[in-house]
A and B are shown apart, each in its own frame.
Chain A
Amino acid sequence: MGSVSLTNICKSFGGVEVLHDISVTVQDGEFVVLVGPSGCGKSTLLRCIAGLEEVGSGDIHIDDRRVNTIAPKRRDIAMVFQNYALYPHMTVAQNMGFSLRLARVGAEEMRAKVDEAAAILGLEDLLERYPRQLSGGQRQRVAMGRAIVRNPKVFLFDEPLSNLDAKLRVQMRSEIKQLHQRLKATIVYVTHDQIEAMTMADRIVVMRGGRVEQIGAPLELYDNPANVFVAGFIGSPAMNLFPALLADGQVVIEGAGTLPAAPDAPPGEQPVIVGMRPEDMTISDTGIPAEVVLVEPTGAETQLLARLGGQIVVLTMRDRIEATPGQRINITLPPAKIHLFDPETEASLRTPVATNRSREVDHA
């Protein structure tokens, strides 16, 4: 397996800069997800790593080799495409063995490698079929099989699950993650779905408009978003974000009331954007008053829309609650859970706090 390092990558398409000075390092065996809204440059960046696009400036290293000018086939990478890109006129076995055939590997060795990959992915019974005879999930597996057979230094995934239905997507998500754990593969994975990013990644690279907004482990990004964009992008339902005033250690929400800010909030008085995660807020006897707008029970939890001053906020409750629209409630949340951002720069005004990792599970 290998590492990937991107240093100061810039790229333009006809005068429009689509990648601005991007530097990311992917460690050997790491699962890194590039995530962001469409048009943020994540796929372009992946294609640059693959060699399907040339970079304008900057360096791409795979292991210690600079690969900028090296053809895709010599970069020792494998790529899984969004539409799978299976060769329609070849059987599953031929699809998976295609790279070996081009490399003039002997028939016996090819057969063995294809069988090995097929066994990993549960494709043994489908080897003689054609792609059109497979379901979406099976095609996805064949595309991964084609990558595995090559035993590359780096696996590149370009939105591999977005053509699947919701249920299959969840299933394939865990299959890919298990595959990563089993192969100890280095993976760079592109998606626009932040849940995919959160659930699969060792580290997430959040991108917007061709720039890297933040890089970190999923829960680091969740707990300490560096700016308003990351705060709103990571997490579902999204963090409640709205303008407020920070004054003498208090967050003043116009028309609603005040909440105590965290001790590390900047002193003095300034306008801020306040951020509150839906699940951090609780209903209590004290706190700022709000009015229930809508109650949405989902079974495991209940979502509550409430009017807080001029804002509609979302609360997520683990407990089942009895609430009716129009009912008056009080909302509170721990000061440490209140995120504050500069309205001008949109950057976080707080020093990041250590993320609470879950307790190690005993692998007995």
Chain B
Amino acid sequence: MNQRFLGLLGLGALFVAVSCRPPAPEIEPGEPTLRRLTEAQYVNSAHDLLGEDVFVPTGMEPDTRITGLLALGAGQTALSPRGVENFEAAAYALAEQAMEPGRAEALLPCSPSGTVDAACAEQFIEEFGRRAWRRPLTADEVGPLVDVATNAADVLESFEDGLEFAIASLLMAPHFLYRTELGEADPEGRWDRRFSGYEVASRLSFTLWNTTPDDELLDAAEAGDLDDDALLLAQVERLMADPRARAGLSAWISDMLHLADLDDLEKDPSTFVYVTDTLGQAARTETLMGFEALAFDDEGDLRELATSRRTFVDRELAALYDLSAPAREGFGEYVHPDESLRIGLLGQASFLALNSHPVSTSPTLRGKFLQEVLLCRTLPGPPADVDTSIPEPTEDAPTLRDRVLRHLEDPACAGCHEVMDPMGLGLENFDGIGRFRTHDEGALIDASGDLDGVDFDGPLSLAQAIHDNDDFAPCLVKTFVRYSGGRREVFGELEGLDWLSGEFAFRKHRLGPLVENLTLSPLFRQAGALDVDTEPDEGEAE
């Protein structure tokens, strides 16, 4: 009885605690951006629309990273003439596959009565178009597409061949290639402008699944459900419970950590004997599987990305790390023992190899990445005419620590390198592709340093210092908001970001609550005016 009473008391206390949380503050959102689908989003969307077995052309237009994220580049880079041609060719290639025997029957909602069947073509274009453009097509949009389909069918004497042209038109249209989430006047007066139900559906789907919305989400948008907090939350929960959320949100981590760059890993094979063509891909998989396990399986504290001893390795990575492979095929779970200096992201080949030179480690690159990506600090690049070369090892200065001291002795360099190099030097126990070492050029490695006044003596205490740093968790939040919104925050949103960070901390830094809090907040649903210029000063936004 007493236990039951205490349980109820605890639940009551929890309810009071949760319900007493501060509401999301009012914000003044920045101008919405028009975002081109990233390559991954294009591929995922094409598969969702046409089937997993279609071949989706890639490499049409390279994704560009701006302010650290491809998601931001998607909203700021123009499409090249060559890219336009590539997308057009890709649209025709996809349309042709869509109307191949076997697949066409599955896609068509009706059986054409003959070579020319305008009604059936119209029904298909309306249904397929809604999914492709992530909103219903207007009559003015449907009509010309039906004309294209029926005229081509008449000439080519095939309903399906005619429909190919309509499908290609849909897939090369800006409405498909660009996410036109620009907002509308808020009919309920909650805010000046808001994202429409279809725009919220698109933002939700691309944020959580990295692909186009499914029919259920579009139906919810059509019914107005996404304007309602409770019904929106139900959709968020549905999307998060779907297996696609793992890959979808891994795309955020991949973007944040620049994991796509692992495809182009350049390492000197005479320096690093463990380099293979598959190392980059394996390293990316390790990092993303670790994220998925932490965020989804454990529903754990995302700061443990820096400190988790659990990881996932295949035989190749196990050999690189000099540990017993946990699985004969593919990846298996492995927990680094307490004695190991390999911990969290900072001990993974993905981070270590990406932030090194082709022939050596780079304390500067590693430190810069940690400062900019994990702590969201802005560091200026080196002056244009500065000599960035590091002296060759000598008897008096064998280790990289000895040699990068040059940066710190030069006042022109010291300002930034004092911030970057010590953190990077804390990881000198890992070589340029992440293999453990105790010596550099024959001398024992000194991996000590300090981060914001917190001393560390190597990778373990550095990882812990990052985990505990006041900027780490808010940086995760900020990056997620930027990734979701496709642009940098503006001054009028900073209070909202602070609130979201506070709630993230209150909810134990877990991904699920972060997603819920963001997607229900004005940061996700309130649209800024299209013509305002509210970019803050650099310092204010950072």
A and B interact physically:
no
A-side residues, CB < 8 A to B, are none
